[in-house]
């Protein structure tokens, strides 16, 4: 069986405009031991029986209400992910995902109950995104527009969550291109959250099979709302060997881009050491069909390839037309090309 190791980094910043921080986060590098400490240096440990958990919540509601909502969400998740609850939860993919969904729904209910008890917090809410790294998989659960990415040096950057937002719905309907989504005037309008008085929270889930060198990055929209995926991948790639430094650089990138929102980043780096004689798993990764911006490097290579194909097609068509409609010119071009590559007439 593979030996999986993990190291974590996490941080938050109020930004350059806000006076209070409505973001909250928590991470456990070893749920088996209820270890919720986040080391300040790159410290790699063995992945425990119940794995590791990364969580980010982005509160909303004005005054202090947003930070109350996100704090309740984090506290609820933390109270659910205790060893005595996890033995039954980890029986299968289905039980794991259902456990995560139920934890989010419990947080939603706790926020709603607090709103009813304290009118000052009426209307507060929060997004949430979680990554549970367990065994050879990462289980992602989210509600809102806080995101989970995974970076792998061999595969690039992939977005593992899909925003619950008005702009994402426009993209899904083909009414807005992914390239224009980032700067849309309504990019901050979300369609799902925790604490909504009209609609109970409906989180989505996804499963990702771990690969050696995977770096998971969860963030509030204080980062992904200011920095496009291409900027994020450049920072992670340049600082992938030190995720504490990488976390700091990602926060700095958001601040340099304006810093008009709170920014929170939680990261987990995975190292897989295969046992002697062990073969790689042939299982296919489950893929969520997201918009094409999730793989910026791959998207770029597709554009280059498509451009080359179009140029080749144009040249072929031009050659056929010259051959049929102007044979003398075709013969001259043929002689020129042969001379260019040093070929002699037979």
Q: Which two tokens stand for residue 24?
A: 């909250």
Cα gap 72→64, rounded to integer Å: 13
Residue 329's pLDDT is what?
A: 66
What pLDDT is stored for residue 202 in this prediction? 97
Q: What is the pLDDT of residues 35-84, one digit of tens each?
A: 999 887 778 999 999 999 999 999 998 656 999 999 999 999 999 999 99
Q: Please report the pLDDT score of residue 282 as a whole number.
A: 36
Segment (H or E) for 204: strand 204-209
| pLDDT of amino acid 339 | 54
Query: How confident is the model at residue 144, as a pLDDT?
Result: 98
Q: What is the mean pLDDT of the chain?
A: 86
Cα–Cα distance for residue pair 47/217, rounded to 1 Å: 17
What is the C-alpha to C-alpha distance for residues 239 and 270, in angstroms, rounded to an integer?
A: 15
**CA 213/CA 6 separation, integer angstroms:** 10
pLDDT for 280:
46
Amino acid 342: pLDDT: 46
Q: pTM of this prediction?
A: 0.81
260-298: pLDDT as tens digits: 999 999 999 999 987 655 544 434 444 434 433 344 443
Q: What is the pLDDT of residue 337?
A: 56
Q: State the DSSP H helix or E strand holding residue 77, giving kind and residue range, or none if neither.
A: helix 65-80
231-247: pLDDT as tens digits: 999 999 999 999 999 99
Q: How far apart are CA 142 and CA 140, in angstroms?
A: 7
**Lowest-pLDDT choice from 14-18, 228-232, 338-342:** 338-342
What is the structure's pLDDT at 210?
Answer: 97
**30's tokens:** 């070893």
What is the strand order of the sheet 137-143 is part of?
A: 23-28, 52-60, 125-134, 137-143, 204-209
Condensed to tens digits (0 to 9), the pLDDT of residues 207-228 reads: 999 999 999 999 999 999 999 9
Looking at residue 2, its pLDDT comes to 73
How large is the average pLDDT for residues 20-29? Answer: 96
In this model, does residue 229 exceed pLDDT 70?
yes
């Amino acid at each position: 069986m593979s030996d999986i190791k993990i190291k974590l980094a996490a941080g938050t910043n109020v930004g350059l405009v806000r006076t209070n921080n409505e973001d909250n986060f928590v991470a456990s590098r070893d749920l088996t031991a209820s270890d919720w400490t986040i080391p300040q240096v790159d410290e790699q440990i063995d992945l425990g029986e119940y794995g590791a958990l990364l969580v980010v919540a982005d509160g909303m509601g004005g005054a202090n209400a947003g930070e109350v909502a996100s704090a309740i969400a984090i506290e609820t998740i933390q109270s659910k992910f205790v060893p005595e609850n996890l033995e039954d939860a980890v029986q299968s993919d289905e039980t794991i995902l259902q456990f995560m969904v139920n934890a989010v729904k419990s947080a939603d209910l706790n926020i709603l109950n607090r709103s009813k008890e304290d009118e000052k917090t009426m209307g507060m809410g929060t997004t949430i995104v979680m990554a549970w790294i367990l065994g050879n998989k990462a289980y992602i659960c989210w509600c809102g527009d806080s995101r989970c990415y995974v970076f792998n040096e061999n595969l690039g950057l992939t977005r593992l969550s899909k925003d619950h937002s008005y702009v994402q719905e426009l993209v899904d309907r083909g009414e807005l291109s992914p390239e224009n989504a980032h700067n849309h005037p309504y990019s901050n309008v979300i369609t799902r959250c925790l604490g909504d008085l009209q609609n109970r929270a409906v989180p989505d889930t996804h499963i990702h099979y771990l690969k050696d060198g995977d770096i998971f990055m969860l963030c509030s929209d204080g980062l992904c709302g200011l920095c496009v995926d291409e900027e994020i991948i450049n920072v992670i790639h340049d600082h992938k060997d030190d995720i504490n430094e990488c976390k700091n650089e990602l926060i700095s990138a958001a601040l340099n881009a304006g810093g008009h929102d709170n920014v929170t980043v939680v990261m987990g780096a995975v190292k897989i050491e295969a046992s002697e004689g062990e073969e790689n798993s042939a299982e296919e990764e489950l893929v969520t069909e997201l918009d094409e911006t999730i793989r910026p490097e791959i998207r770029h290579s597709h554009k280059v390839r498509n451009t080359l194909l179009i140029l080749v097609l144009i040249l072929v068509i031009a050659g056929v037309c010259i051959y049929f409609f102007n044979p003398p010119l075709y013969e001259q071009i043929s002689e020129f090309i042969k001379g260019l590559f040093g070929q002699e007439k037979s």
